[in-house]
């Protein structure tokens, strides 16, 4: 049984991915930021300053935990040691939400430092659903699954990505994390319409939204090729796509995701403030 009753909820307002260099700003001048996200794998150790800081922040802010290492889509069984350490973190932190990626990152005993795509087949669907069931049963909580950023089309897919996500949610009871930048990146690389993707997305299943920056390159045919890099401001087309998302699905907890070339606090706070203005318009 998935027990959600005693946990703090994420507010329908902006959050940011926590970086230790910003702790004084967050505690003294958080501005529009009302919640924080951490990457699980950075806090699965035994203690030290990072854990002490996180305990202090969790007394004031709701926390979302975002995993990058479970390899939900991998062919091998889930790493039980990793899952146990994740459970220990979530048990003492008691975060408002936990999420992972629709991707794989393991091969045998090797861990690949990337989030790799899956073919959307019935066999993949059954495997990912089985892994999600295992995670939720072990953690005793609902997990959220994030739509991926896609750089190549895999042959053999039998299901549309949205249909695949909806069926996973139906089978397992998981929620969805909608990364709007991933939608824009994938749609640009696939030469499809991001507005159509957002229109068709099951917004009733979305519990959290991510916004981030990307890098732009050119492919062999000199067409735009985007890379989900989390190292720059959110671009205007993604803000427009986000505004449409909120119009369709209502205000949702929205994270500014900035993991590389992390800027000074005023830059992050300005991105959060822009998200807050869009959320406020919809709330009004």
Gap between the Cα atoms of 277 and 234, Å rounded: 15
| pTM recorded for the entire structure | 0.92
Res 220: pLDDT: 77
**97: CATH:** 3.20.20.150
Gap between the Cα atoms of 14 and 273, Å rounded: 8
Q: Is residue 259 part of a domain?
A: yes
Angle at the Cα of 68 from the Cα atoms of 41 and 248, rounded to 5 degrees: 125
- Residue 113 pLDDT > 60, yes or no? no
58 closest CA partner among 70, 69, 43, 68:
43
- Residue 1 pLDDT > 50, yes or no? no
176 closest CA partner among 204, 196, 211:
204
Go through the chain and tell me how many residues it has: 284
Q: Is residue 105 part of a domain?
A: yes
Q: Is residue 142 part of a domain?
A: yes
Given a contact cutoff of 8 angstroms between Cβ atoms, the answer to whether 20 and 43 are in contact is no
Average pLDDT over residues 44-66: 93
Gap between the Cα atoms of 15 and 30, Å rounded: 10
User: Euclidean distance between the first and final Cα of the chain, in Å?
Assistant: 37
Which tops the pLDDT comparison, 96 or 104? 96
Q: Is residue 8 part of a domain?
A: no
Res 103: pLDDT: 86
224 closest CA partner among 244, 194, 257, 195:
194
Res 232: pLDDT: 94
**What confidence category does residue 111 fall into, taking pLDDT thresholds of 50, 70 and 90?**
very low
* Residue numbers of the domain that contains 41: 14-283
Average pLDDT over residues 43-58: 91
Kindly report, residue by residue over 206-233, the tens digit of the pLDDT: 999 999 999 888 877 778 878 888 889 9
* 3-state SS string for the chain: CCCCCCCCCCCCCEEEECCHHHHHHHHHCCCCCCEEEEEHHHHCCCCCHHHHHHHHHHCCCCEEEECCCCCCCCCCCCCHHHHHHHHHHHHHHCCCEEEEECCEEEECCEEEEEEECCCCCHHHHHHHHHHHHHHHHHHCCCCEEECCCCCCCCCCCCCCHHHHHHHHHHHHCCEEEEEHHHHHHHHHHHCCCHHHHHHHCCHHHEEEEEEECCEEEECCCCCEEEECCCCCCCCHHHHHHHHHHHHHHCCCCEEEECCCCCCCHHHHHHHHHHHHHHHHHHHC
- Residue 242 pLDDT > 80, yes or no? yes
Kindly report, residue by residue over 254-264, the tens digit of the pLDDT: 999 999 999 99
Q: Is residue 9 part of a domain?
A: no
Average pLDDT over residues 163-184: 98
Q: Is residue 5 part of a domain?
A: no
Res 20: pLDDT: 96
Average pLDDT over residues 248-255: 97
Q: Tell me the average pLDDT of the chain.
A: 91
Q: Is residue 82 part of a domain?
A: yes
Q: How many domains does the chain have?
A: 1
- Residue 115 pLDDT > 90, yes or no? no
Which tops the pLDDT comparison, 118 or 204? 204
Which tops the pLDDT comparison, 156 or 8? 8
- Residue 106 pLDDT > 80, yes or no? no
Q: Is residue 2 part of a domain?
A: no
Average pLDDT over residues 74-80: 89
């Amino acid at each position: 049984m998935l027990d959600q009753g005693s946990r703090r909820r994420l507010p329908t307002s902006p959050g940011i991915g926590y970086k230790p260099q910003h702790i004084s700003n967050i505690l003294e001048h958080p501005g529009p930021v009302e919640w924080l996200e951490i990457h699980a794998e950075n806090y699965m150790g035994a203690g030290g300053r990072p854990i002490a800081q996180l305990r202090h922040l969790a007394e004031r802010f709701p926390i979302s935990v975002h995993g990058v290492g479970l390899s939900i889509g991998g062919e091998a069984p889930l790493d039980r040691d990793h899952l146990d350490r994740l459970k220990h973190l979530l048990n003492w932190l008691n975060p408002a939400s936990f999420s992972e990626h629709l991707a794989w990152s393991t091969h045998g005993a090797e861990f690949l430092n990337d989030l790799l795509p899956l073919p959307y087949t019935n066999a993949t669907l059954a495997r990912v659903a089985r892994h999600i069931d295992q995670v939720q049963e072990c953690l005793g909580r609902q997990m959220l699954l994030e739509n991926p950023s896609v750089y190549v089309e895999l042959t053999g897919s039998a299901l549309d990505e949205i249909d695949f996500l909806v069926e996973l949610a139906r089978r397992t009871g998981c929620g969805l994390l909608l990364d709007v930048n991933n939608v824009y990146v994938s749609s640009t690389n696939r030469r499809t319409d991001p507005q159509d993707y957002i229109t068709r997305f099951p917004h009733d299943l979305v519990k959290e939204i991510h916004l981030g920056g990307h890098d732009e390159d050119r492919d062999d045919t000199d067409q735009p090729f985007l890379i989900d890099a989390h190292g720059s401001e959110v671009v205007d087309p993604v803000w427009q796509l986000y505004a449409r998302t909120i119009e369709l699905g209502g205000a949702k907890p929205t994270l500014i995701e900035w993991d590389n070339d992390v800027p000074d606090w005023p830059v992050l706070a300005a991105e959060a403030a822009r998200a807050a203005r869009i959320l406020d318009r919809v709330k009004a």
